[in-house]
Chains A and B, each alone.
Chain A
Amino acid sequence: MIKEYKTIKEIASPLMVVDGVENVTYDELGELELPNGQVRRCKVLEIEGQKAVVQLFESAQGINLAETKVRFLGHPQQLAVSEDMLGRVFNGMGNPIDGGPDILADAHMDINGLPMNPAARAYPAEFIQTGVSAIDGLNTLVRGQKLPIFSGSGLPHAALAAQIARQARVLGDNETFAVVFAAIGITFEESEYFINEFRRTGAIERTVVFSNLANDPAVERIATPRMALTAAEYLAFEKDMQVLVILTDITNYAEALREISAAKKEVPGRRGYPGYLYTDLATMYERAGRRQGKKGSITMLPILTMPEDDKTHPIPDLTGYITEGQIILSRDLFRKGIIPPVDVLPSLSRLKDKGIGTGKTREDHAGTMNQLFAAYSRGKDAKELMTILGEAALSEDDKLYAKFAEEFEKVYVGQGNSTNRSIEETLNIGWDLLSILPVRELKRIKPEYIEKYLPKK
């Protein structure tokens, strides 16, 4: 028998204090029933004696202290999961909004999940070909990795994410895949762009969408990515699917978290974000991965827009400390018309070394990758020097490096959003570009590979 309370003492959205409660536990899910019959969700943040501090998931509008009833449901927030979720659209709280029927639940799962035992993880090592050279060649994505896209307002991150979702495949493999897409506080237009992309390519049949748009309550955003990850865990580890999770935009999520933290009057950390932002983000990001003895995997592509393009802002900074690398988009490249504008130097995939080489991509991959990085870095320095001092001030080598950097951006990075390159094509383009440089400069590649792959002039 679930007790109902009419003892709300205080409401300061998104928090509420209920008094005189019994047997209520931390993190328990609750329901509010308004006088007009409307039902809203909430959860327990703190419980002291008979007083519960409760966080609302929806707006506080219309709640009346005297008339509104509160029930506590005896379990944390859950999501009803089943394979029928594929092809459906849900709101940020996990309720269908596409007009279809409710999901016949195969199971109810706690949306907070449980931490994965490090001894049960399988190390991600299977190369995913995204067809994007700047990723495949230099910042290789592997199955089970979490690789965020650090973008800025007005940069084409959505197009890149959609391109990856469309083109990504594991070489020589026919396993079932699924996409879980969580729109977190983004606009209707942005969300529609993704959904239309999925529709256009037919991927919508294998996609689960959780949509919390900009005009939906901010507090709901805390739950949205967790809903998405719970669905992903179910599909990956119960149904053996290869799941790609796209979360956009993490910045909106962190702002919602800050809003609640401020309402709770917590001591703020950097820029007003709560001190536990790192731990909170980690409990989401770490849900990506593979498990020993399980076929499925969760690969995660969170997207975040860096305020003022500042990589040291707490959101990208803490994300970078948790995720296994980052793809950074550059406004300068975008202005030059280079699409996708991936800034390869600060971009990084930490798991690339285990996913490339003989039997995975090609034997020359590691060496050429390091050489391209080093050469592009030096070429960029040379170009900078050239703008200050003029071309005459450069040594012969530096002139070649400057030319290399120019070509590299245009040809290697700037492939456009519709080109799908195989890994061989990507590697060969790399060799073409390296042939601009004198052979003696190619110190990072084994001589036998230079002999085998470098185009003869």
Chain B
Amino acid sequence: MSGTITKVSGPLVVAKGLADANVSDVVRVGSQHLIGEILNMTGDSASIQVYEETSGLGPGAEVLTTGMPMSVELGPGMLNNIYDGIQRPLPEMRRLSGDCIARGIDVPALDREKLWKFVPVAKPGDKVITGDVIGTVQETTAILHKIMVPHGIQGTVKSIIAESEHTVTDVVAVVTDEKGIDHDLTMTQRWPVRIARPYARKYVPSRPMNSGQRIIDTMFPIAKGGTAAVPGPFGSGKTVVQHQLAKWSDVDIVIYIGCGERGNEMTDVLMEFPELNDPRNGEPLMKRTVLIANTSDMPVAAREASIYTGITIAEYFRDQGYDVAVLADSTSRWAEALREMSGRLEEMPGEEGYPAYLASRLAQFYERAGVVECLGSDERQGSVTAIGAVSPPGGDISEPVSQATMRIVKVFWALDSSLAYARHFPAINWLTSYSLYLDTLAPWYTAQFGESYMKNREKAMHILQEESELQEIVRLVGQDALSPTDRLTMETAKMIREDFLQQNAFVDEDAYSSYAKQYRLLDLVLKYDAICREALKQDPNLDTLFTIPAREKIGRAKMANAATFEADYAAIEKEMEAEINAVAAGGNNE
């Protein structure tokens, strides 16, 4: 069915003669067949947001409806790929249209030619329900792609092909439902992006996501299936934090959404990830990654769609029983796209021009995260962890996007520009950040590493709190006014900050820290504190105590090799103990 354009205003197009179209249907606009989506209907006229540049479009041009809502294609071939906001593969688009993105290119999301080796799991005669795995494809060396019975189909397997190579559109199995109707199953299925994929039941997250980042894992952990926000002004390292999480998180699949951000950042991921190996299985990271890139210069409407495209792909892998992390950088740019479309639709604005439905849309996005029992009879579990960067104007988090996000997410890693200026990275402020998963995760930490893990964390946090109070005093009356114990507290806090929390993403030895290394390193710093506190009773010379040679070694301890750190730390500990005791025995000879 087709309609005619009556109005064009930037990405918003109004067309009449579309009385039979549905809200949210995908339409093709004009002679170039630009992709658009229906937002509103009035009588027979539809307001359409167009996902491509509308330059050259005018009244009278044709609009065709497809009768389908905005959907993604799900199946083998997504990993190791990079898509734009509406799931068009960018390398393929480059092949078709050159270095710049031309308009009206129609490319399928999944390669139609490529052959995949299908290994059947189900047998003819098996009873299957929605979500049951009928076969598998080794999509990359890292990931086994499970081919599931699509939504709405259940019955008996009538036939299934033997192990052989097929394209994503070949029929691999036929399922006969109760009414005796045959359904052809291929390796792909479609799903509308704005609707969450169904699951059997949802659980409260209870396992941490290991990120290898000390301030995250030890201080403000996130659970698998949890939600987190990373707000910060520009230059505070949001993107580096997101990249680190994408690299080192112990999830099976990573969906990285570059939403209205820099083109070169996506290029960086594209160039770097194939080179980096997953510390757990040695496979290149790119083999478990799907990139969605709708950079800031690409059409703004597709930016709005990009986070839905991303989370839908995440849910699909979750349904196969995988742990998935979705990293969205940045949700503020997504909100701006929403604001721009809302303005063009002449809707009544809420705060700062954002539409009144901003908070509910954000909540809907984050609520698609979680730990679930997937559909299907094998009761497998999967999770989607959602982490969104927020770019508040001027770094001021009193603005609507930050506030709406804070109401939903459970973990808040507040980036701080003053830390960034001092090149303290990751610039996550330990006083303003929080994690509401501490209580639910504490039993896991205790079970794995004993009581002392959480105790050490508490102690370290306490020392950092105290430091900020003591700093006030130092600022007023100088350091000399502090008692020796307070000076030691300041000193230990400095060590926690510099020798533990600071972590260099660009140095191989330091970029990833295992739990064991994190624990031992913090323990080393706290041991120094404990032994010194004991030594203070003998009134030693504080300056000598704070400059013992072992201090320099503690300062470099984070660079210790992952294989030998245990022995290295034990040696430092011994040395430190001897040196402190020697200083203490020497007394205060000032």
Partner of A124, one of B55, B94, B264, B349: B264
B100 at the interface (CB under 8 A from A): yes
Q: What residue of chain A has the Cβ atom nearest to residue B343's Cβ?
A: A267
B204 at the interface (CB under 8 A from A): no
Is A120 a contact of B58 with CB atoms below 8 Å? no
Is B58 a contact of A47 with CB atoms below 8 Å? yes
Number of interchain pairs (Cβ within 8 Å): 212
Partner of B556, one of A45, A326, A443: A443
Is A269 a contact of B101 with CB atoms below 8 Å? no
- Chain B residues with Cβ under 8 A from A5's Cβ? none
- What total of chain B residues lie within 8 Å of the partner, measured CB to CB? 79
Binds A, one of B221-229, B265-273, B279-287: B265-273
B508 at the interface (CB under 8 A from A): no
Is A373 a contact of B423 with CB atoms below 8 Å? yes
Is A440 a contact of B547 with CB atoms below 8 Å? yes
A266 at the interface (CB under 8 A from B): yes
Partner of B94, one of A113, A119, A294, A394: A119
Complex interface bits, A285-308 against B, C-beta within 8 A gives 1, otherwise 0: 011010110100000000000000
Is A279 a contact of B336 with CB atoms below 8 Å? yes
> Closest approach, in angstroms, between the C-beta of A373 and any C-beta of chain B?
4
Is A118 a contact of B293 with CB atoms below 8 Å? yes
Most chain-A CB neighbours within 10 Å: which of B57, B298, B299, B337? Answer: B298
> Closest approach, in angstroms, between the C-beta of B291 and any C-beta of chain A?
8
> Closest approach, in angstroms, between the C-beta of B305 and any C-beta of chain A?
15
Is B555 a contact of A443 with CB atoms below 8 Å? yes
Is B296 a contact of A275 with CB atoms below 8 Å? no
Is A28 a contact of B340 with CB atoms below 8 Å? no
Is B235 a contact of A346 with CB atoms below 8 Å? yes
B198 at the interface (CB under 8 A from A): no
A268 at the interface (CB under 8 A from B): yes
B274 at the interface (CB under 8 A from A): no
> Closest approach, in angstroms, between the C-beta of A167 and any C-beta of chain B?
24
Is B55 a contact of A27 with CB atoms below 8 Å? yes
Is B99 a contact of A120 with CB atoms below 8 Å? yes
Is A115 a contact of B297 with CB atoms below 8 Å? yes
Partner of A25, one of B8, B262, B394: B8
Binds A, one of B367-375, B477-485, B529-537: B477-485
Partner of A283, one of B57, B264, B297, B480: B297
Is A119 a contact of B394 with CB atoms below 8 Å? no
> Closest approach, in angstroms, between the C-beta of B497 and any C-beta of chain A?
11
Q: What residue of chain B has the Cβ atom nearest to residue A27's Cβ?
A: B55
A154 at the interface (CB under 8 A from B): no
Complex interface bits, B418-447 against A, C-beta within 8 A gives 1, otherwise 0: 001111000000000000000000000000
Q: What residue of chain A has the Cβ atom nearest to residue B235's Cβ?
A: A348
Q: What residue of chain B has the Cβ atom nearest to residue A390's Cβ?
A: B478
Are A440 and B552 CB-contacts (below 8 A) given A117-B99, A118-B82, A123-B271? yes
A106 at the interface (CB under 8 A from B): no
Q: What residue of chain A has the Cβ atom nearest to residue B554's Cβ?
A: A443
- Chain B contacts with A in 323-380, Cβ cutoff 8 A: 333, 336-337, 339-340, 343, 349, 352-353
Are A278 and B94 CB-contacts (below 8 A) given A76-B56, A366-B506, A393-B478? no
Complex interface bits, A213-246 against B, C-beta within 8 A gives 1, otherwise 0: 0000000000000000000000001000000000
- Chain A contacts with B in 8-56, Cβ cutoff 8 A: 23-28, 45-50
A259 at the interface (CB under 8 A from B): no
B9 at the interface (CB under 8 A from A): yes
Is B99 a contact of A25 with CB atoms below 8 Å? no
B450 at the interface (CB under 8 A from A): no
Partner of B7, one of A47, A124, A320, A321: A47
- Chain A contacts with B in 114-165, Cβ cutoff 8 A: 114-124, 144
Is B102 a contact of A114 with CB atoms below 8 Å? yes
> Closest approach, in angstroms, between the C-beta of A250 and any C-beta of chain B?
15
Are A346 and B417 CB-contacts (below 8 A) given A116-B99, A276-B340, A326-B235? yes
Is A116 a contact of B100 with CB atoms below 8 Å? yes
Is A289 a contact of B353 with CB atoms below 8 Å? no
Partner of B349, one of A118, A267, A320: A267
Are A121 and B423 CB-contacts (below 8 A) given A291-B99, A317-B234? no
CA distance A295 to B234 in the complex (A): 31
- Chain A residues with Cβ under 8 A from B6's Cβ? 48-49
CA distance A389 to B54 in the complex (A): 63
A312 at the interface (CB under 8 A from B): yes
> Closest approach, in angstroms, between the C-beta of A342 and any C-beta of chain B?
14
A2 at the interface (CB under 8 A from B): no
- Chain B residues with Cβ under 8 A from A314's Cβ? 393
Partner of A118, one of B263, B343, B396: B263
7 further contact pairs, Cβ within 8 A, besides A76-B55, A275-B336, A275-B340: A117-B93, A278-B260, A278-B336, A294-B99, A324-B262, A326-B235, A351-B264
The 6 closest A-B pairs by CB, nearest first: A312-B394, A282-B296, A393-B478, A25-B58, A114-B100, A286-B297
Sample of 18 A–B contacts (CB below 8 Å): A25-B55, A26-B57, A27-B54, A47-B58, A48-B14, A114-B100, A115-B101, A118-B263, A120-B100, A266-B343, A268-B353, A275-B336, A283-B297, A294-B99, A312-B396, A377-B421, A443-B552, A443-B555
